[in-house]
Amino acid sequence: MNFVFENRWYSKHEILKQFSIADKTWKNWLYDEKGKKKKDLASMGIYKLPGTNYWVIDAPKFQDWFNLWIGATDE
């Protein structure tokens, strides 16, 4: 599954819609068992804007992580 993305940052809602990810699944990926944000979000392409509570997503990097996570191969 490879999408073509514009050269910009994406919001969580855009990524959830594009990849058909449920909100509960998203929360399970981002939070540990204690309800704290995981430390490796940059490896998923998810970044927090300094001084805000706003998160942005590098869509191509997220897509690479997602394909690796689901075991997708380029065919």
User: What pLDDT digit, counting tens, does each position of 42-61 carry?
Assistant: 999 999 999 998 999 999 99
50 found inside a domain: yes
Mean pLDDT value of segment 33-48: 87
24-58 as b/e: b if 16+ CB within 10 A: eeeeeeeeeeeeeeeeeeeebbbeeeeeeeeebbb
Contact (CB, 8 A) for 48 and 30: no
Residue 28 lies in a domain: yes
Report yes or no on 45 lying in a domain: yes
Tell me which residue range forms the domain holding 18: 12-69
pLDDT at residue 34, as a whole number: 84
* pLDDT of 74 higher than 70: no
3-class SS at 13?
helix
For 73, list phi and psi in degrees, rounded to 5: -120, 155
pLDDT at 58: 96
In a domain, residue 3? The reply is: no
φ and ψ at residue 55, rounded to 5 degrees: -115, 140
DSSP class of residue 41 equals: G
How many distinct structural domains can be found in the chain? 1
**Residue 34 resides in a domain:** yes
pLDDT at 39: 79
Grade residue 1 by pLDDT with cuts at 50, 70 and 90: low
